[in-house]
Amino acid sequence: MRIISEGNRYGNVISADVQGRAVAQHLPFGLYQVEIRQAGFATIAQTFEIQSSIPLRATMRLKLSAVRQSVTVIAGDTLLDTDQAGSVNQIGEEDIQNRLSSIPGRSIQDLVNSQPGWLYEGNAVLHPRGSEYQTQFVIDGIPLTDDRSPSFGPEIEADDVQSMSIYTAGIPAEYGRKMGGVVEINTQQDFDPGLHGQVTSYGGSFASAGAFARGQYTWGKNTFSASGDGSRTDHYLNPVVPQNYSNTGTLGDFAAGYHRELTANDQFSLSVRHELSRYDIPNELVQQAAGQRQNADNVETMGIAAYQHVFSAFAAGDLHGMVRDNANDFYSNPESTPVEVSQHNSFREGYFKAGFTFNRGRQEWKIGAETDNIFLHEDTSYLITSDDDNSGDATPVRANRSRLGRPILPAARVRPSDDDDNVPFTFQDQRPDLEQSIFVQDRIRLNNWTISAGLRWDHYQLVVNDQGVQPRFSIARSFPRANTVLHFSYDRVFQTPSFENILLSSSTQIESIDPGDFLRLPLKPSKGDYYEGGLSTVFSKHLKLDANFYRRFVNNYADDDQIDNTTISFPISFRKSIIYGAEGKITVPDWHHFSGFASYSYMVGNVWNPVTGGIFLGDDADAAAANLSGHFPDSQDQRHSLRARARYQVMPRLWLALGTQYDTGLPFEFGGDRDQALAQYGPEIINRVNFDRGRILPSFQLSASAGLDLYTSERLKMHLQADGENLNDVLDVIDFGGLFSGNAIGPPRSFALRLTTNF
């Protein structure tokens, strides 16, 4: 049995068991065409629509073949989902398997970054439509609301992912808390009888190398799966100078799962995953000369359990539960400058969700409740090794991209002295983050109209006790003769603050650093409104265009600051933000041996003073108190972004691809002038910065790939892929912020090989 959905970039062949039953699991919503071929029987094909979490059971009966009988299957009929109420970007298995190679730790982030509305700031931190740390990853139905970038935690390798659905508007009411963008990730394979799996090995520039293996065995009503991968690289984070000092990283990941079909209407699954990453923090010139060595690690273990019961063809209920432990450590040697930091933070999370879906006639209702309890533990100490006095041997202390132009945490103006007066600051605390929510959503289909209406309530209790009611509404009108769908959506959002170092930011203990000038404001949830309107249309059955216009208003806009160029961040917030823009994406699944996509984003973002949350000391407190009005560009205010990739099937076993990436550059702040920056960083970086406009210069990069099927049979396929990125070798300055601040430089010209074996 072959299943195809061009709109979802999905294509798979599933074998039936001895009873003639085949099961496809966890399909993204959309149109699917099912084709069955069996020797001695006529080929049959039928189109199905998946728009519900209730299992769809269908019977397709084979008939004896007749003389000269044939069936023509047109997969393009599944390119446009006319019942989709909002805009959703889908990344299917084919896109995942043939993706450009990534630096270890970034394979999923690179896939998301290729979509319109998303861009990187330093260290592969994803920012959807200008939002800072408001990305939510949903792994097999479990939402993870902490930062999943390489500098904060290990990733799930993209080879372990079957499909991804990406929302930036029209977000279902069942998702909340982190609402800049939602990335649904499905790691569960179809239950194809027997043993199946994949082995991948790869290597390339920066001494990068890794291996991944996955296997699944299905017998009767049971399925067992396991996967594991390991990798290392000399270019893990984004360096702050072109020399790429001290930037190694090592990662590992292991997962196992068991699924049991208890009855025809009951299914149970259990999975565990253990991930770890260890890496160095890149030095800049002064730190390298001083002998600084800073390194960090992250270890995470999670267990997930899920149960589903189908009450009837119209109703189903499901339960999801998750427990995980996450620990982050940061170490500094005594030669670190300007600050020696030590951190040992961890949290334990318990999550539970119950949902019920009821489908009747033109409507489908879904109601549910969830609770998420995160028990935070923070242990931080730091020692100022040099101050901001430019006399003597002292070195300036600055923080990363401070919107006030000054540091947040390292504001204790303590100079080293012979009297050993420079006493380390230490902080330890623990507290639970308790969050609960309930939601209801209704999907209505009326001829060519589709309406999705939902309501969500969230309660948040950590530093403050707050709650929010969030209506969600999406409407779409299809025009079948024109192969076009128009849509509009409104989302009310209630976004909880980032919990990285939130206890330290909210503690009265930190006042002892500088009791003279001190400002501490409680970090409250962000509340706002998202609007989007757009269209999806198909030309000549082979080309799909998606275009959207959006506007976001957010009060208590969440942001962050970091210590120097470390990976330690502190949440802050401002009065409000207004972000608006337009996006477009052209997708060509297959046309005369060509396939590919081109995505474009235009965005304008502004943030308004004053500061409304966070900790500020010394001059920072004075600046925060003085800046009570006015606005400045959002740190992700990149006006134009372009991503494109075109692939040509030269022959059945060989394809070639070309890609491009264009960015007009992010805004920046620098406390000195051009001559000071030149002395600190050298001409290479300064020539990529426009000080008059306060913008990084545009960056244009080219990439190329080639894929070759080395061996293909019914049971085994070996595929070799070669990739070259940044072939024009541009110095890609992503962020620039001055000495000891937010510099981030993208990888230079690089090459990679990846060998994949499927069985």
The domain segmentation of the chain, as residue ranges, is 89-758
Computed from CA positions of residues 510, 514, 520, 523, in that sequence, does the dihedral angle turn out positive or negative?
negative
Of residues 393, 297, 380, the one with CA closest to residue 337 = 393
Give per-residue burial for 412-433: e unless 16+ CB within 10 Å, then b: bbbbbeeeeeeeebebeeebeb
Q: pTM to 2 decimals?
A: 0.87
Closest CA to 122 of 294, 277, 247, 250: 247
301 contact partners, CB below 8 Å, separation of at least 6 = 272, 273, 274, 275, 324, 325
Cα 529 to Cα 490: distance, rounded to the nearest angstrom: 7
Tokens of 700: 């244009």
Tell me how crowded residue 245 is: count the other CB atoms within 10 A of its CB.
18
β-strand 744-745 against 689-690: which pairing, if any?
Answer: unpaired
Closest alpha carbon to 128 in 486, 583, 560, 488? 583
How far, in Å, are 135, 151, 222 from residue 491 at the CA level? Answer: 15, 30, 40
Instruction: Give how far Cα 206 sits from Cα of 106, 133, 244, 743, 750, Å.
Output: 15, 28, 10, 20, 8
245 contact partners, CB below 8 Å, separation of at least 6: 239, 282, 283, 284, 287, 288
DSSP bridge pairs for 757? 199, 718
CA dihedral 537, 581, 557, 607 (to 10 degrees): 180
Distance CA 544, CA 680 (A): 48
Rounded Cα–Cα distance for residues 8 and 114 (Å): 16
In this structure, the number of other CB atoms found within 10 A of the CB of residue 555 comes to: 17
Instruction: Encode pLDDT of 511-561 as tens digits.
Output: 666 556 677 888 999 999 999 999 999 988 889 999 999 999 999 999 887
pLDDT at 559: 86
User: b vs e for 279-299, b when ≥16 Cβ sit within 10 Å of the residue's Cβ?
Assistant: bbbbbbebbeebebbbbbebb
Please tell me the CATH code under which domain 89-758 is placed: 2.40.170.20
Q: Rounded to an integer, what distance in angstroms lies between the CA atom of residue 332 and that of residue 459?
A: 38
Which residue type, as a one-letter code, is found at position 187? T
Closest CA relative to residue 340, chosen from 296, 389, 294: 294
444 phi and psi, to 5 degrees?
Answer: -120, 130
Residues of the chain with pLDDT under 50: 67-75, 388-420, 738-741
Contact 570, 560 (CB under 8 A): yes
According to DSSP, the β-strands at 518-521 and 733-735 are unpaired
Q: How far is CA 77 from the centre of its chain?
A: 30
Among residues 635, 507, 637, the alpha carbon closest in space to that of 570 is found at: 507
Which among 379, 408, 410 is positioned nearest to 394, based on CA atoms?
Answer: 410
Report pLDDT for 396.
Answer: 35
Q: Measured between alpha carbons, how far is 559 from 747 in angstroms, rounded to an integer?
A: 26
Provide the β-strand partners of residue 74: none
Selection from 181, 190, 176, 258 nearest residue 224 by Cα: 258
pLDDT reported for residue 691 = 86
Q: Chain-centre distance of CA 582, in angstroms?
A: 20
Looking up tokens 């990305």 gives: 135
Quickly tell me which residue has 């992503």 as its tokens. 734
Choose among 61, 75, 1: nearest CA to 36: 1
The closest of 369, 371, 372 to 354, measured between CA atoms, is 369
For the CA atoms of the chain, what is the radius of gyration? 26
DSSP 124: G
